[in-house]
Structure 1
């Protein structure tokens, strides 16, 4: 009996020692990697792979080791390959820590469990980050009440604008203060058509209808921004759609757009001065940015008031993968990336003295190596408000961004994300119909009096009412849960 008790005691002590060791390893894992070594964070993001990425991240990792006992392996996937390759990795369950995502991809991957809900981590490992980000951005990326990614802290609102070639505006003394609607462009377009033979009056763009879209502006599911904001409609079955597309059709017949506007795949680069007016989304000091890129002056006027939409807050998100072996460490990195000016600018601009130089006043200038060897998309990384200003940037640039965000009103569906599973087949049919009709209508290439009724008839036959009812049902359920 005594021998058995001795053996039993020895066994208990051995198990205790093993458990203590496991506990120590677990604790170490939270601080870093195996046996206290720095945990390597695997980060996939969008953009053309750069020659100096390894050189820059050698500096990044020196800093991260001292700050959070971690290193980062950043891998970029080129623009054209991103959509397919990133989704293949997610579907295959590949093990990684952080991935860039946005829009519909973010919603669908979060809904199917590919990303970790980070609400609890935002209160702990990411508390500094949470305090730094515009609250409307975090609200807008919620899915079923949970946050599944860190949105880039930048302009949270969207404002569509008409952008003009300023040289031509000045040459003909056009009064842009009179431009409030699409129809107000007509006198200027007529002048350009008659007097500027080498200029296309309207760069190919599709007439914009101001709504809050459940999918995008090509699909017939939208919430009005004014009036009844609580009910989804088919925006193509409205008087506004008919009048807008009639105006575009008149412009098309007058020769203000290219004949192949509906089908042309040609882009309209701003650095080619062969257009007069175009439409696009703006931000504070956008004209300065665009003029710098185009190398001639541009000037814009708003086509709508700034509004915070789901797509304007979800245009750039860093999500933590459900396959991550250390989500808390990934969040520690994201927290630092979005709040530490040194790290944010190192990842974005490269190494001081090699990729950029800093001036005495704290502003910066790019060096040739920044353009040729380390030029990654700023919007895809993180918080804008810790970025160094360039020499010719306005001193109040980031203050204006904050004012822009504060002035924007939330869209009706900010934070609402539709689950399309119950009507997947109807949406597939409607998508194909919209691809057939929308480009021609929105560029004025066809007569809306004839084509809009045909479009809406086909939408009815494809089950649009069923989809509208499902969107309304889910929206009402979501709305009832809002504070």
Structure 2
């Protein structure tokens, strides 16, 4: 072989070796950083009324995320009432997706984590999601563990749940009602009496079929009749209908119903929105957050004030009220976590996804304040469902200390007794289905005061026991005891 050709071959071999070496190094770098040469598309399913300008906004979002993390975003919105069913079908059929909204009330977080719909994310949080860990109150991640693992990123929002009595201020002012001593259900009586006597056709205590009275218990399964009393260090699981607290509360509700303070049709009423639109109500029960009165007043179009009716407690359901999970079938889990990390730490991205395009859907009126423009009607998103709420710009009417007050509120919350415990129903599924049927028969009429609890609690309890409630309570107690032992 000539020297020239040999030299050429040698050079070619060296170049090929160098190329392979660089390629291998590049491959290692891509694996460690999760940044591919070509941007990936993250498919995101979330809850809410589909908005006209979603694709338009996501185009701008994708320009930003492409530069920041090498990924673009395709958002698919599914309407409130359809979300759970459609997501169950799509996850079961393997529809491609990377990110999805889940919660304690829609597309059930615990249930779907156990089904394997979501990826466990502890490692991803430590690598690609460090900003989330640093930002969130530890109770969010502690309370959202399922069987020892995290499967979703909770939205950084109000952490505790605090029940309040919410009042139509127009009626409060008209009759000079004194709210200073309002707290317990019984404390409402003189106010309800005034409205009943002077405002015919007005709901004094506005409740519908979903109403649950305020009692100091932490439910094993929300709105099922087994719970642990707040403050009970033994964590004894009881049938809540047999407790003195619930019996007293239901007796008061029935007293109010007979007095005409509660709507006659309360046990079958599906919504209070119509009566709230007319303003023909005095008080109802709601869940609090800082400056909630402002939000309610803006939403209803007339002034609303509220008074605390319970302590601020951190429950599993409040921690899991809004979460984003990574699909177990995601092609790009590391990139999905990078996106969630950015969404929860970067104000530019968070506000673009929440409020749309600056100058189109909203305009800034300060460093951290904004007001909507007319085009916002085409992009009106549910803020709470989309990540770190405390990064969003304040409305121009919000006080400057809004987010400081949220943090104080979160710090004030006390842990409910079952925070971090999630019941595994697999051994008692038949009994739970039977108990659910009994609940459908009795619950709404009892909780709204429509029926006499002295007569109907024994009937309901007998049917609950026949359906297997005691077996469920025994299984729950066994799991709670095992969980309590690990906490020590």
Q: TM-score, normalising length from structure 2? A: 0.92
Is 2:423 the partner of 1:418?
yes
Question: 1:166 and 1:231 mapped to 2: Cα distance?
Answer: 41
Q: How does 1:373-388 map to 2 (within 5 A)?
A: 373-388=378-393
Deviates more, 1:168-177 or 1:280-289: 168-177
Match of 2:413 among 402, 408, 416: 408
Is 2:392 the partner of 1:391?
no
Partner of 1:364: 370
Q: How does 1:155-174 map to 2 (within 5 A)?
A: 155-174=158-177
Partner of 2:340: 334
Deviation of residue 422 (structure 1)? 0.2
Deviation of residue 15 (structure 1)? 12
**Does the 8 A contact of 1:60 with 1:343 survive in 2?**
yes
Partner of 2:474: 469
Deviations 1:171-197 (A, max 9, x none): 222221212211111111111011112
**Does the 8 A contact of 1:30 with 1:326 survive in 2?**
no
Deviation of residue 259 (structure 1)? 1.3
**Does the 8 A contact of 2:266 with 2:450 survive in 1?**
yes
**Does the 8 A contact of 1:32 with 1:69 survive in 2?**
no
Partner of 1:134: 137
Where 1:100 maps in the other structure, the secondary structure is strand
Please list every run of 5 or more consecutive structure 2 residues that lacks an aligned counterpart in the other structure.
Answer: 1-15
Question: 1:437 and 1:209 mapped to 2: Cα distance?
Answer: 18
Question: 1:146 and 1:412 mapped to 2: Cα distance?
Answer: 19
Q: How does 1:1-150 map to 2 (within 5 A)?
A: 28=30, 36-103=37-104, 105-150=108-153
Deviation of residue 107 (structure 1)? 0.4
**Does the 8 A contact of 1:155 with 1:405 survive in 2?**
yes
Q: TM-score, normalising length from structure 1? A: 0.93
Deviation of residue 119 (structure 1)? 0.8
Q: Number of residue pairs matched?
A: 468
Deviations 1:344-397 (A, max 9, x none): 000100011100011145421001111x21111111100011111111001111
Q: 1:103 to 1:190 in 2, by over 3 A?
A: same
Deviates more, 1:266-275 or 1:281-290: 266-275
Deviates more, 1:221-230 or 1:63-72: 221-230
Deviation of residue 90 (structure 1)? 1.3
Partner of 2:12: none
Q: How does 1:282-301 map to 2 (within 5 A)?
A: 282-301=288-307
Question: 2:427 and 2:461 mapped to 1: Cα distance?
Answer: 22
Question: 1:446 and 1:182 mapped to 2: Cα distance?
Answer: 18
Match of 2:189 among 186, 208, 230: 186
**Does the 8 A contact of 1:32 with 1:70 survive in 2?**
no
Q: 1:174 to 1:131 in 2, by over 3 A?
A: same
Deviation of residue 30 (structure 1)? 6.5
Deviation of residue 57 (structure 1)? 1.1
**Does the 8 A contact of 2:35 with 2:69 survive in 1?**
no
Question: 2:118 and 2:368 mapped to 1: Cα distance?
Answer: 38
Question: 2:402 and 2:180 mapped to 1: Cα distance?
Answer: 24
Partner of 2:268: 263
Deviation of residue 435 (structure 1)? 1.1
Deviations 1:220-244 (A, max 9, x none): 1111013445111111111222211
Deviation of residue 267 (structure 1)? 2.8
Question: 1:129 and 1:260 mapped to 2: Cα distance?
Answer: 46
Question: 1:245 and 1:140 mapped to 2: Cα distance?
Answer: 30
Q: How does 1:211-222 map to 2 (within 5 A)?
A: 211-217=217-223, 219-222=224-227
Where 1:121 maps in the other structure, the secondary structure is helix
Is 2:248 the partner of 1:247?
no
Question: 1:208 and 1:440 mapped to 2: Cα distance?
Answer: 16
Q: 1:259 to 1:226 in 2, by over 3 A?
A: same
Deviation of residue 151 (structure 1)? 0.3
Q: 1:367 to 1:451 in 2, by over 3 A?
A: same
Deviations 1:221-275 (A, max 9, x none): 1110134451111111112222111111111111112211111224335332010
Q: 1:22 to 1:321 in 2, by over 3 A?
A: farther
User: Alpha carbon RMSD of aligned pairs, Å?
Assistant: 2.1
Deviation of residue 456 (structure 1)? 0.7
Where 1:331 maps in the other structure, the secondary structure is helix
Q: 1:450 to 1:66 in 2, by over 3 A?
A: same
Q: 1:43 to 1:30 in 2, by over 3 A?
A: farther
Deviation of residue 426 (structure 1)? 0.4
Where 1:402 maps in the other structure, the secondary structure is helix
